[in-house]
């Protein structure tokens, strides 16, 4: 079983990496693309097959350490 | 007077901070390993710079869960001074002991150079020895030094006089060019509500001896010592 | 899974010749196993064995009363600096990996050289880098060159900054010959007390052998063999798997743990696992001690499943060390490595058989006499033949070069020329102030670091605060070496020594990185031979023994070979902090003096041969380079040092690329006080005294050797000029510090440049080139 977690910078936070990637894409000819946000992707291997049992813990971990709620949002799924 | 300098895996400015404490200020101090859980006998804590835990996940994110940080929280709650420098500032923000967060430099590059700092609140524990109009010339060395907080927090910091230092140019003006990392309102360092916990991105411990080019950083340490002497005298 | 059969094709793929294969059979008395074939292939690769260069390297001067550990003995050389203190230093290359994956290639290069230093028992305290790329901002390959340059600098920054070591000096050159074959040479220096010197010898039969550091994976498989082959487009693709990924955080922990372990006196031998990983470290430590070693591979921590013995022995996973501990002291390893949360494993024992025996799950997969493997690689004397291109170079005459139409504009072009322009785009990405020891930071002729008590490894018995000041520089003008290998190599050393003298330092020792093309090409091998001849003679002249170094051959790509590039790093000692001298002018009214002859009147090219002016303004890389008179250089450096020690000199800057005009401009504009805050000081210069001995462009931009621009207080000028005369060094007043401009007069001509304009061109050139 795996938890797939996506962490993204909050929209309000300065994202210079996102801006740099957006500029690079535009310069490469991908016209008309919108804003780019660069985030993080984590895969955590989990034992057993009871996804529901792990939801609370993963959510807790995301909130406590894996993301900084001041500047990041997160979402995840367990499969 | 006894100063603790915390040491996390891959702190690399711990020796520099200890050198200033012992050899420049002539005080007693030692390195405190992150797995220790007592700060008994210490009067102040310095959380030095470096790349604790390789800056993995987010800078300071893992260090702030070290056993010693719980002790630091209690230590700070008791009113004793805690100074976070660079990575130390990042750890204090992650731990919630200081407001805001430090994110990647706007240039996306690590930046090492000398900057000018304007001191906003000359009477705080960490600034009382800095002459009001004096600009401090200190080196920065960081990849994630852009200070971020929402507008409400920034206004609160401003109104409560908790912005201690801002990046300025040679004339003391807060300009975009003088801002090395994109920090909002050119903020280089802040303190908590009780004013005993402070953090700054520049390195005062690298500017405490003239032979290294500037001794302005020493004023920050001297402020801390003066404030501590007062505090200890009052307690006695 | 069984090993592949050993066929002539397989032997060839391992870069071993049929004769070498026969030699292997002779040593073993039988056919080798597949694992043994891999082991010999890396140990006998050029990168590890120096089989094509050893006879040449033996001609270097390697001893002096200060040398404690000499070239060839251990991982790095060690030199005494007085008061029981010593420095360990070395330079190394990571060229091929950086061409394929610039960030990780450069990062792991830094990791490797840092390990070479702390494996000697020294605490690493600073780094230098010497980098070369194809041209930016223009040219067909510019975009790729920018990518490589940016990636390499990021990689060095990432590793050095995280580890916590200041990268404090370096050089960067751009030239078409490095297109597709960048050069990344990195240097590290560490400090220790004499009694803390650690050796890479597996002493004491029965002693346990420990592996410490992260688990072994498939990184860098056959990297040493990869470095010993020409880069083709195919190899770039296939070899992507060969590039190792570095972890500076891990390295910092391993370094601290090793230094702590060394302080307990429980260690009898220690070596890092660098090129050829476990193979090299086990066989070299056994060979040095004259003992044998036996290891069991199933005990080696592995992070990939199903690794074969071949893979485990050849892996170049980073940040691993081999440590031989005294029997009975195993607990120290466990205690210290557990404290730092680092993996460790007891993987074998020292034996007295003289053989390196490797087992996998109890079965022997390799059994080789250690000394023969480590020390008896074949030695070759490749054919050398003077290159045909030199004829035209020697015949080239200055008469065929049109005079500069606008020398004032030429100076601006040169200051913005990426090889000359300020390298702040690079070094402002390097933490160059960590460790509280950076007295002279990047941007001056030589860097200076302060050594103090906490520069030492733990366990240093003496706690007294003895402070030392070390100057460092790395130099090589490869265009000169291409045009005249012997003279150009002498100049590399002479320029480095001159840079040290300008900082107030006397040389202690040298380390060299020989970057050349394919040694089996007789013309390219001739370049190598002649360069070594020049380096050796110059190092002897400056009393700077070579304490170790690195050879990187096969630096060529489909576009051709690189220019011969023998990079030299020189380390010197400054007796007192008051002697430390910067390169920029200080006070209005100070007098500017030229030490050394303005023009070499016996040089038909008048210093323009091989010059940057000729390359930048005329598009020509030809003409015999300026001559190097080692005796005159020595006199000049000694004289300059004596003046500095008497307190007569306020600034000193040597003349190199771009000649007098560029050196003068740099003395006016190179002091950076803080971010966006330079300290510009003008100068009024009169060179009319030499206007008749050379054409104007040669006078301004010629690169005649043996010249330093100094500034002195007006009251000290007479002393400087008089004493120089007595010491046989030319000293001429050429101008005065002051004003908001640089003005240079020469006969009827006058050039005038506003300082802010020159500074902008010079300071921002590389940032602009990278943004295009």
Residue B107, chain A, CB below 8 Å: the answer is: yes
C82 DSSP β-pair partners: C85
**pLDDT over 70 at C633, yes or no:** yes
Q: Check whether C14 has a pLDDT greater than 80.
A: yes
Burial of C31 (0-12, 13-18, 19+ CB in 10 A): exposed
Mean pLDDT of chain A: 90
To the nearest whole Å, the CA of A65 is away from the closest chain B CA by 7
Q: Are B101 and A66 a contacting pair at CB < 8 A?
A: no
- pLDDT at residue C132 is higher than 80: yes
B147, pLDDT greater than 70: yes
Residues 6 or more apart from C299 whose CB is under 8 A from it? C211, C345, C346, C347, C348
CA atoms of C772 and C767, how far apart (whole Å): 9
Cα angle vertex C517, ends C514, C520, to 5°?
A: 115
Indicate which residues of B carry an active-site annotation: 86, 203, 205
Alpha-carbon torsion angle C631, C637, C642, C647, nearest 10: 160
Q: What is the DSSP letter of B120?
A: S
CA atoms within 13 A on the CB side of A35: 9
Could you give the 3-state DSSP secondary structure of residue C717? helix
Instruction: Please check whether residue C60 lies inside any domain of the structure.
Output: no
Q: How confident is the model at residue C245 (pLDDT cuts 50, 70, 90)?
A: confident
For tokens 């702190």, the residue is B11
On whether any CB of chain A is under 8 Å from the CB of B188, the answer is: no
Give residue C211's pLDDT: 97
Domains held by chain C: number: 1
Extract the tokens encoding C649: 């000199």
* Residue B236 half-sphere exposure toward CB, CA atoms < 13 A: 6
Per CATH, the number for B2-235 is: 3.40.50.880
Burial B172-204 (b: 16+ CB within 10 A, else e): eeeeeebbbbbbbbbbbbbbbeebbbbbbbbbb
More confident residue, C673 or C229: C673
**Within a domain: C213:** no
Q: Which residues are B116's β-sheet partners?
A: B137, B168
Nearest CA in chain B to A38: B104
Asked, for residue C648, whether it belongs to a domain, the answer is yes
Q: Does B101 touch chain A (CB under 8 A)?
A: yes
| pLDDT value of position C239 | 47
- pLDDT of residue C236 exceeding 70, the answer is no
Catalytic residue among C94, C158, C637, C759: C94
Residue of A22, A65, A66 for testing the chain B interface, max B β-carbons within 10 Å = A65
- Report the DSSP beta bridge partners of residue C573: C470, C506
Task: Give, in order, the Cα–Cα distances in Å from C636 to each of C73, C663, C724.
Answer: 34, 17, 9
**What does the pLDDT read at residue C220?**
76
Q: What is the pLDDT of residues C329-360, one digit of tens each?
A: 999 999 999 999 899 999 999 999 999 999 99
Residue C741, domain member (yes or no): yes
Angle between helices C755-771 and C142-163 (to 10 degrees): 100
* Distance (Å, whole) CA C208 – CA C206: 6
Note whether residue C281 is domain-resident: no
Q: How far apart are CA A16 and CA C332, in angstroms?
A: 47
Separation in Å, CA of A34 to nearest CA in chain B: 20
C94 is catalytic: yes
- Contact at CB, B148 and A66, closer than 8 angstroms: no
pLDDT in tens, C496-544: 999 999 999 999 999 999 999 999 999 999 999 999 999 999 999 999 9
For residue A33, what are the CA distances in angstroms to A21, A40, C725, C766? Answer: 11, 21, 71, 30
Q: Domain-by-domain residue ranges, chain B?
A: 2-235
pLDDT digits (tens, 9 = 90+) for A14-73: 787 888 888 888 877 898 999 899 999 999 999 999 999 999 999 999 999 999 888 889
Q: What is the pLDDT of residue C231?
A: 65
In a domain, C720, yes or no: yes
Q: Min CA distance, B55 vs chain A (Å)?
A: 13
**Percent of residues, chain B, with pLDDT higher than 70:** 100
**Touching pair C, B by Cβ (3+ pairs < 8 Å):** yes
**Residue C261: its pLDDT value, please?**
97
CATH value at residue C594 = 3.90.650.10
Instruction: Say how far apart CA C466 and CA C455 lie, in whole Å.
Output: 11
User: Does residue B139 belong to the interface with chain C, where contact is any CB pair within 8 Å?
Assistant: yes
> In this complex, which of C164, C439, C450 lies closest to B12 when CB atoms are compared?
C164
What is the per-residue pLDDT for B62?
86
C597-628 exposure pattern, b = at least 16 Cβ within 10 A, e = fewer: bbbbeebebbbbbbbbbbbbbbebbbbbbbbb
- Please indicate, yes or no, if residue C651 is contained in any of the structural domains: yes
How long is chain C? 772
Alpha carbon of residue C145 to chain centroid: 21
Q: Which pLDDT score, from 0 to 100, does residue C223 have?
A: 53
Cβ atoms C510, C539 nearer than 8 A: yes
Q: Does chain A touch chain C (at least 3 C-beta pairs within 8 Å)? A: no
What is the reported pLDDT for C705? 98
The pLDDT of residue C727 is 96
Averaged pLDDT for residues C21-39: 96
Q: Is B58 on the interface with A (CB under 8 A)?
A: yes
Per-residue model confidence as pLDDT tens digits over B11-63: 899 999 999 999 999 999 999 999 999 999 999 999 999 988 778 778 888 88
Q: What is the structure's pLDDT at C234?
A: 60
The pLDDT, as a whole number, for residue C228 is 59
Assessment of whether the complete model's pTM goes beyond 0.90: yes
Are β-strands A2-9 and A72-78 bridged in parallel, bridged antiparallel, or unpaired?
Answer: antiparallel
Size of interface B-C (CB pairs under 8 A): 113
**pLDDT (tens digit per residue) in A7-30:** 998 887 878 788 888 888 887 789
Assign B78 a pLDDT band (cuts: 50, 70, 90): very high
Q: Which of C322, C341, C344 is nearest to C333 (CA)?
A: C344
Residue A17: closest C-alpha in chain B:
B108
CA distance B28 to B20: 11
Structural domain that includes position C731: 581-772
Q: What are phi and psi of C737, to 5 degrees?
A: -85, 135
């Amino acid at each position: 079983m795996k938890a797939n977690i996506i962490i993204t910078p909050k929209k309000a936070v300065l994202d210079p990496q996102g801006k740099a990637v957006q500029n690079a894409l535009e310069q490469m000819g991908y016209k008309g693309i919108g804003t780019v946000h660069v985030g993080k992707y984590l895969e955590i291997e989990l034992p057993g097959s009871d996804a529901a049992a792990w939801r609370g813990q993963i959510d807790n971990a995301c909130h406590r350490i894996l993301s900084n709620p001041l500047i990041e949002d997160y979402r995840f799924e367990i499969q | 007077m006894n100063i603790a300098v915390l040491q996390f895996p891959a702190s690399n400015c711990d020796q520099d901070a200890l050198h200033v404490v012992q050899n420049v200020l002539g005080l007693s101090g030692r390195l405190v390993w992150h797995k220790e859980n007592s700060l008994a006998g210490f009067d102040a804590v310095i959380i030095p710079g470096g790349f604790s835990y390789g800056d993995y996940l987010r800078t300071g994110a893992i260090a702030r869960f070290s056993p010693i940080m719980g002790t630091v929280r209690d230590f700070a709650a008791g009113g004793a001074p805690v100074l976070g420098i660079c990575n130390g500032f990042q750890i204090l923000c992650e731990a919630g002991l200081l407001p805001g967060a430090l994110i990647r430099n706007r240039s996306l590059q690590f930046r090492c150079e000398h900057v000018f700092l304007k001191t906003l609140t000359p009477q705080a524990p960490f600034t009382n020895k800095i002459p009001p109009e004096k600009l401090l010339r200190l080196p920065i060395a960081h990849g994630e030094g852009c200070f971020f907080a929402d507008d409400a927090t920034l206004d609160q910091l401003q109104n409560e006089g908790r912005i201690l230092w801002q990046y300025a140019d040679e004339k003391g003006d807060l300009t975009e060019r003088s801002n090395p990392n994109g920090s909002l309102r050119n903020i280089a360092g802040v303190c908590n509500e009780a004013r005993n916990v402070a953090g700054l991105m520049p390195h005062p411990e690298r500017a405490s001896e003239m032979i290294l080019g500037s001794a302005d950083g020493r004023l920050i340490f001297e402020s801390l010592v003066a404030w501590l002497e007062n505090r200890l005298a009052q307690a006695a | 899974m069984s090993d592949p059969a050993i066929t002539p094709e397989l032997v060839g793929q391992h870069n071993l010749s049929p004769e070498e294969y026969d030699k292997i059979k002779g040593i073993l008395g039988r056919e080798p196993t597949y694992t043994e074939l891999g082991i010999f292939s890396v140990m006998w690769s050029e990168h590890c064995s120096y089989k094509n260069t050893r006879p040449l390297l033996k001609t270097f001067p390697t001893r002096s009363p200060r040398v404690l550990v000499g070239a060839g003995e251990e991982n790095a050389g060690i030199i005494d600096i007085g008061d029981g203190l010593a420095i360990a230093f070395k330079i190394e290359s990571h060229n091929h990996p950086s061409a394929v994956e610039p960030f990780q290639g450069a990062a792991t290069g830094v990791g490797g050289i840092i390990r070479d230093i702390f494996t000697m028992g020294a605490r690493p305290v600073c780094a230098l880098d010497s980098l070369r790329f194809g041209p930016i901002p223009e040219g067909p390959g510019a975009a790729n060159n920018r990518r490589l340059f940016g990636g390499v600098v990021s990689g060095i920054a990432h590793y050095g900054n995280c580890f916590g070591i200041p990268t404090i000096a370096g050089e960067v050159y751009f030239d078409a010959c490095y297109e597709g074959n960048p050069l990344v040479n990195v240097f590290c220096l560490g400090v220790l007390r004499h009694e803390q010197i650690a050796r890479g010898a597996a002493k004491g039969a029965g002693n346990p052998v420990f592996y410490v550091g992260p688990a072994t994976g498939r990184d860098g498989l056959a990297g040493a063999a990869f470095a010993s082959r020409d880069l083709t487009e195919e190899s770039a693709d296939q070899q992507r798997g060969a590039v190792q990924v570095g972890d500076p955080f891990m390295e910092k922990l391993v370094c601290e743990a090793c230094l702590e372990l060394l302080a307990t006196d429980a260690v009898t031998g220690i070596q890092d696992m660098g090129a050829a990983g476990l193979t090299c470290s086990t066989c070299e430590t056994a060979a040095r001690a004259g003992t044998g070693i036996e290891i069991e591979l199933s005990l080696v921590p592995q992070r990939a499943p199903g690794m074969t013995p071949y893979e485990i022995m050849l892996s170049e996973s980073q940040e691993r060390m081999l440590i031989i501990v005294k029997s009975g002291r195993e607990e120290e390893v466990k205690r210290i490595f557990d404290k730092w949360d680092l993996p460790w494993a007891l993987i074998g024992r020292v034996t007295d058989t003289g053989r390196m025996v490797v087992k996998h799950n109890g079965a022997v997969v390799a059994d080789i006499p250690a000394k023969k493997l480590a020390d008896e690689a074949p030695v070759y004397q490749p054919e050398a033949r003077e290159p045909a291109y030199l004829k035209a170079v020697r015949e080239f005459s200055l008469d065929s070069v049109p005079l500069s139409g606008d020398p004032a504009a030429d100076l601006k072009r040169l200051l913005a020329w990426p090889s000359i322009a300020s390298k702040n785009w690079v070094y402002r990405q390097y933490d160059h102030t960590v460790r509280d020891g950076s007295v002279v930071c990047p941007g001056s002729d030589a860097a200076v670091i302060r050594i103090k008590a906490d520069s030492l490894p733990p366990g240093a018995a003496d706690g007294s605060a003895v402070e030392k000041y070390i100057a460092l520089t790395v130099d090589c003008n490869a265009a000169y070496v291409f045009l005249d290998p012997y003279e150009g190599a002498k100049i590399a050393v002479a320029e480095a020594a001159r840079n040290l003298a300008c900082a107030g330092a006397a040389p202690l020792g040298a380390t060299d990185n020989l970057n050349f093309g394919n040694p089996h090409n007789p013309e390219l091998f001739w370049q190598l031979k002649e360069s070594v001849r020049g380096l050796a003679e110059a190092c002897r002249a400056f009393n700077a023994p070579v304490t170790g170094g690195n050879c990187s051959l096969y630096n060529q790509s489909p576009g051709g070979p690189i220019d011969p590039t023998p990079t030299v790093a020189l380390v010197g000692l400054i007796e007192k902090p008051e002697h430390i001298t910067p390169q920029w002018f200080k006070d209005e009214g100070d007098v500017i003096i030229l030490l050394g002859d303005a023009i070499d009147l016996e040089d038909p090219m008048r210093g323009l041969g091989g010059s940057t002016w000729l390359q930048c303004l005329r598009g020509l890389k030809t003409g015999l380079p300026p001559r190097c008179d080692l005796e005159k250089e020595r006199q000049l450096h000694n004289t300059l040092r004596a003046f500095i020690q008497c307190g007569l000199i306020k600034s000193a800057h040597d003349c190199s690329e771009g000649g007098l005009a560029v050196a003068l401009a740099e003395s006016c504009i190179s002091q950076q006080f803080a971010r966006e805050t330079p300290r510009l000081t003008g100068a009024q210069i009169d060179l009319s005294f030499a206007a008749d001995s050379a054409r104007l462009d040669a006078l301004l931009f010629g690169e005649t050797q043996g010249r330093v621009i100094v500034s002195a207080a007006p009251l000290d000028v007479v002393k400087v000029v008089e004493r120089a005369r007595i010491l046989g060094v030319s000293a001429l007043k050429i101008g005065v510090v002051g004003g908001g401009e640089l003005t240079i007069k020469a006969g009827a001509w006058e050039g005038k440049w506003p300082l802010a304009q020159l500074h902008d061109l010079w300071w921002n050139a590389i940032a602009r080139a990278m943004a295009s």
